[in-house]
């Protein structure tokens, strides 16, 4: 009995995971409105009934998609070897991680863009996003604290502002990649363009947090 129960539980977890991944694929490709249940069940090689059984509704499924995409980001970030004792190098490393994650996970950018089009109504239904955002912002705190303790970073920094600066500099480029390429007449997805932008935003973030040099008394 116990073994068969364990197998069924494992199969249920696999079905849920397959539906969730299918939902990410479909919502990323077709948006929330176009991401119909029948498309998701076809992508998952499942059926509509299983989606309703495990998630309740399309709206609740999208809430889980949001939570999952943030959870995956936090999990990848937690694997970094961040050394707060070298705050300048470590902050540059963190900026590079966020940038590279956005570049290599376009579904993350797409899901966030979709949710903003819907004015965050699904995010407000989540009981997990506040915890997940706290984890993301919390990664910065020991780095900033160390930089301030070493006299390298400004004392008046708001940790939330530093987080927003990094997130916005990485997100905007990727969420507007195609329109920026047309508007500026350059392929912003080209490796050289992306490399140059990463170097620029790393320097920009460091300038934003750096303690201003003392002006010598005359």
| % of the chain with per-residue pLDDT over 70 | 95
Instruction: Give the separation between CA 198 and CA 203, rounded to whole angstroms.
Output: 9
- pLDDT for 216: 59
What is the mean pLDDT of the segment spanning 30-42?
95
Residues 138 and 65 in one domain: yes
Residues 43 and 92 in one domain: no
Q: Which residue has the higher pLDDT, 173 or 216?
A: 173
Residues 98 and 203 in one domain: yes
Residues 24 and 84 in one domain: no
Tell me whether residue 37 is in a domain.
yes
Q: Is the pLDDT of residue 6 over 80?
A: no
Residues 83 and 148 in one domain: yes
Q: 92 falls in which pLDDT band (50, 70, 90)? A: very high
Which range of residues forms the domain containing residue 129?
A: 59-209
- pLDDT for 95: 97
| % of the chain with per-residue pLDDT over 90 | 83
Residues 6 and 108 in one domain: no
Residues 119 and 195 in one domain: yes
Residues 30 and 118 in one domain: no
**Residues 172-182: b if buried by 16+ CB within 10 A, e if exposed:** ebbbebeebee
Residues 43 and 108 in one domain: no
- The answer to whether the beta carbons of residues 160 and 137 sit under 8 Å apart is yes
Tell me whether residue 217 is in a domain.
no
pTM: 0.88
pLDDT digits (tens, 9 = 90+) for 176-196: 999 999 999 999 999 999 999
Look at the chain and report how many structural domains it folds into: 2
- The answer to whether the beta carbons of residues 90 and 83 sit under 8 Å apart is yes
Q: Which residue has the higher pLDDT, 197 or 216?
A: 197
CATH number of the domain to which 83 belongs: 1.10.357.10
Instruction: Give the separation between CA 103 and CA 124, rounded to whole angstroms.
Output: 26
Q: Is the pLDDT of residue 1 over 60?
A: no
Task: Choose the final residue of a domain: 11, 31, 56.
Answer: 56
Residues 155 and 50 in one domain: no
CATH number of the domain to which 34 belongs: 1.10.10.60
Tell me whether residue 216 is in a domain.
no
- pLDDT for 218: 52
What is the mean pLDDT of the segment spanning 193-208?
97
What is the mean pLDDT of the segment spanning 162-183?
95
Q: Is the pLDDT of residue 217 over 80?
A: no
- The answer to whether the beta carbons of residues 69 and 48 sit under 8 Å apart is no
């Amino acid at each position: 009995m116990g073994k068969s129960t364990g197998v069924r539980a494992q199969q249920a977890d696999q079905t849920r995971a397959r539906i969730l991944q299918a939902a990410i694929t479909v919502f990323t490709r077709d948006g929330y409105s176009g991401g119909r249940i029948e498309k998701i069940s076809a992508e998952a090689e499942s059926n509509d009934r299983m989606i309703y059984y495990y998630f309740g509704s399309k709206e609740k499924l999208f809430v889980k998609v949001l939570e999952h995409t943030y959870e995956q980001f936090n999990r990848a970030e937690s694997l970094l070897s961040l050394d707060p004792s070298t705050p300048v190098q470590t902050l540059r490393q963190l900026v590079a991680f966020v940038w590279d994650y956005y570049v290599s996970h376009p579904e993350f950018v797409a899901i966030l863009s979709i949710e903003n089009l819907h004015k965050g109504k699904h995010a407000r239904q989540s009981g997990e996003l506040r915890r997940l955002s706290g984890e993301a912002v919390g990664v910065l705190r020991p780095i900033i604290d160390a930089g301030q303790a070493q006299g390298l970073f400004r004392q008046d920094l708001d940790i939330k502002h530093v987080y927003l600066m990094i997130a916005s500099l990485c997100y905007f480029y990727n969420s507007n990649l195609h329109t920026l390429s047309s508007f500026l007449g350059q392929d912003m997805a080209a490796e050289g363009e992306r490399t140059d932008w990463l170097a620029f935003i790393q320097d920009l973030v460091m300038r934003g947090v750096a303690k201003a040099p003392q002006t010598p008394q005359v």
